[in-house]
């Protein structure tokens, strides 16, 4: 299975300092983080070739907290990952409730990465913080130590 996206592989080869010493696991995690950041910030229906690509408009997300909209957001995020990010296996998303951040939704996105040349030979855990601000912008940050 190809671990890095095609344009990322090509751009790394064209860089003058090609001696990148990062482990392959870190390169793949960064690649997934970049792609998910792009995918989850595209609004559904804005890509003519695939009307299901992206999340629904969440620009007024702060007004939706009381309605129970959070579980629907979680389902939408998992659906997008299942459809468009095949490198992340068995993704789960769990809400983190913080008292001090009332207008930001915070989640922990976890899953597994299959890094082996044969499927199932080298499986690593994947964890990221996922935040959605009041304007509907999604940001991803790596969890330290994972």
User: Alpha-carbon distance 123 to 75, whole Å?
Assistant: 24
Walk me through the domains of the chain, giving residue ranges and CATH numbers.
23-142 (3.10.450.40)
pLDDT for res 1: 45
Residue 40: closest CA among 28, 57, 62: 57
Greater model confidence, 69 or 2: 69
Structure tokens at 15: 């860089």
- Residue 116, CA distances (Å) to 7, 39, 134, 145 in order: 22, 25, 39, 21
pLDDT by residue (tens digit) across 71-125?
889 999 999 999 999 889 999 999 988 767 667 889 999 999 877 666 666 778 9
User: Alpha-carbon distance 66 to 84, whole Å?
Assistant: 30
pLDDT by residue (tens digit) across 48-58?
999 999 998 87
């Amino acid at each position: 299975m190809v671990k890095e996206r095609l344009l990322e592989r090509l751009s790394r080869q064209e860089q003058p300092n090609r001696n990148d010493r990062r482990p392959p696991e870190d390169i793949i995690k960064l690649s997934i983080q970049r792609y998910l950041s792009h995918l989850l910030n595209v609004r559904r229906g804005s890509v003519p070739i695939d009307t299901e690509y992206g999340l629904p408009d969440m620009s007024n997300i702060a007004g939706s907290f009381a309605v129970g909209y959070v579980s629907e957001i979680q389902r939408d995020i998992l659906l997008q990952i299942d459809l468009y990010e095949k490198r992340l296996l068995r993704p789960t998303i769990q809400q983190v409730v913080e008292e001090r951040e009332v207008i930001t939704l915070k989640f922990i996105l976890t899953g597994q990465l299959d890094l082996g040349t044969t499927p199932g030979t080298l499986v690593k855990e994947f964890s990221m913080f996922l935040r959605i601000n009041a304007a509907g912008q999604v940001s991803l940050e790596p969890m330290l130590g994972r």
